[in-house]
Amino acid sequence: MSDKNERYSRSYPISWEQLHRDVKALSRRLHDLNRAWKGIVAVTRGGLVPAAIVARELGIHLIDTICITSYDWQNQGDSSILKPMDGDGEGLLIIDDLVDTGGTARIVRQMLPMAYFATVYAKPAGKSLVDDHVTEVSQDTWILFPWDSEPRFVEPIVG
């Protein structure tokens, strides 16, 4: 049994439509903060799609990335910084899809301590590391994002 299967007893599939609704809800919350954002920093790869939606909704054109890897399809392991950012993050909005254990969020917070950090989904272990999120899910839930799956025909039980 893989490490993923031992840690996650639930699955939460997210459709493209649900993701879009959730990111628009996050965008409304960010808009209500009434801040003039200098730009968005997407945490790759999961933050790319949410960052694009937030950028559209808030009229932000400057988008950069921080590239950190900590997941593969089976395990959540040690993090590696593939592309860092300079500065303290003042005026920047960090966007990621999910804060899980907080490993990636800690690295991002150290890099850009003055930035505002928002995720679409949050788990209890990492929730305190972000400034805002839309939906909280239990720590034992594996979120299946639409870019990690594909729609296909499935044979019915009774054929």
Residues with a known catalytic role = 96-97, 100
CB atoms within 10 A of CB 37: 19
Give, as one character, the DSSP assignment of residue 151.
-
CA distance 72 to 86: 26
Residue 15's identity, in one-letter code, is S
- C-beta separation of 141 from 123 below 8 A: yes
Reduce the DSSP state of residue 94 to 3 states and report it: strand
CA distance 102 to 53: 23
- C-beta separation of 85 from 114 below 8 A: no
